[in-house]
């Protein structure tokens, strides 16, 4: 992304990642926040109202002892700063639904968001990329990111920014649903603005998967599996609904293929 454009673009983009006490959006809370704007990178640790799980500690290396003297996020200056930024800015996150749910649990509102997870899927219609987690995309796309360590909010934000830059470049060049009228040349800033608008739209809708990336039908097309083993898809859908799954992408996908 053109740095001068980033500095002047309105609305402002806020690249954000959280580290949390666990992976349950309904129960777990944040313990580390990092975000990046054109003004720099800002980060902080916070004492959550629930303890960090052993599993989360093993991934992030953030312990309850490290947080015992930290302030609560809801009382922090960072929360106030973020609220001001997000009032007229756009949050950018990987699997944005999770980070937004975690922030909303702290009483925050996120009016607009871009999910790089969904945008990456959108720009890979043939499912050539095996996985879409942030670390995998970093190396699959050979993103040039220095001093970034996985499962650390600051490191993830650096990778997130580089991924967004790559996705925006691709969408600006060849990913727009409507090409600009040749009689009306569009500046780079205008094309980026249109690409960001499309990213917002893509991020607002569940993804439609084409391949299974797990289980007995790994790497098989879902449209083919539904013809030979419809009961398997129905079983998956029933399980996700019964378990109260938060995986709206898979629920949307299964419902789509089962009704067609």
pLDDT greater than 80 at residue 90: yes
What confidence score (pLDDT) does residue 3 get?
52
Closest CA to 167 of 129, 209, 205: 129
What confidence score (pLDDT) does residue 260 get?
76
What confidence score (pLDDT) does residue 185 get?
42
Closest CA to 10 of 203, 175, 192: 192
DSSP-derived 3-state class of residue 194: helix
pLDDT greater than 70 at residue 6: no
Confidence of residue 76 (pLDDT cuts 50, 70, 90): very high
pLDDT tens per residue, range 135-159? 999 999 999 998 888 778 999 999 9
pLDDT greater than 60 at residue 8: no
pLDDT tens per residue, range 166-222? 999 999 887 555 555 554 447 888 889 999 999 999 999 998 999 998 899 998 999
Which of 72-76, 136-140, 225-229, 239-243 has the weakest average pLDDT? Answer: 239-243
Q: Quote the tokens at residue 88.
A: 């007229």
pLDDT greater than 50 at residue 231: yes
d(CA 164, CA 118): 11
What confidence score (pLDDT) does residue 225 get?
97
- List the domains of the chain with CATH numbers: 3-203 (3.30.420.10), 215-259 (no CATH)
What confidence score (pLDDT) does residue 126 get?
83
Which of 61-65, 95-99, 124-128 has the weakest average pLDDT? Answer: 124-128
pTM: 0.87
pLDDT greater than 70 at residue 16: yes
Instruction: Look up residue 73 and give its DSSP letter.
Output: G
More confident residue, 193 or 8: 193
DSSP-derived 3-state class of residue 166: helix
Across the chain, mean pLDDT equals 90
């Amino acid at each position: 992304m053109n740095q001068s454009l980033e500095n002047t673009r309105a609305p402002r983009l806020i690249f954000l990642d959280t580290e949390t006490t666990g992976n349950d959006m309904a129960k777990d809370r944040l313990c580390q926040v990092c975000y990046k704007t054109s003004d720099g990178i800002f980060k902080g640790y916070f004492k959550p109202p629930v303890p960090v799980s052993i599993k989360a500690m093993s991934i992030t290396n953030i312990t309850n002892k490290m947080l015992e003297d930290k302030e609560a996020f809801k009382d922090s200056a960072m929360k106030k700063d973020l609220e001001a930024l997000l009032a007229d800015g756009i949050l950018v996150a990987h699997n944005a639904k999770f980070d937004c749910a975690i922030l909303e649990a702290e009483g925050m509102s996120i009016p607009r968001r871009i999910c790089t997870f969904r945008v990456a899927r959108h720009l890979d219609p043939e499912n050539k990329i095996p996985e879409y987690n942030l670390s995998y995309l970093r190396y699959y796309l050979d993103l040039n990111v220095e001093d970034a360590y996985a499962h650390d909010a600051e490191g993830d934000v650096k990778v997130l920014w580089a991924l967004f830059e790559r996705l925006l470049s691709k969408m600006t060049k060849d990913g727009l649903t409507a090409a600009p009228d040749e009689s009306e040349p569009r500046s780079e800033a205008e094309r980026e603005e249109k690409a960001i608008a499309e990213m917002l739209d893509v991020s607002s809708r569940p993804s439609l998967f084409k391949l299974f990336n797990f289980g007995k039908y790994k790497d098989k097309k879902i449209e083919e599996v539904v013809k030979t083993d419809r009961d398997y898809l129905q079983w998956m859908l029933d399980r996700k609904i019964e378990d109260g799954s938060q995986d709206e992408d898979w629920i949307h996908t299964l419902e789509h293929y089962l009704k067609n």
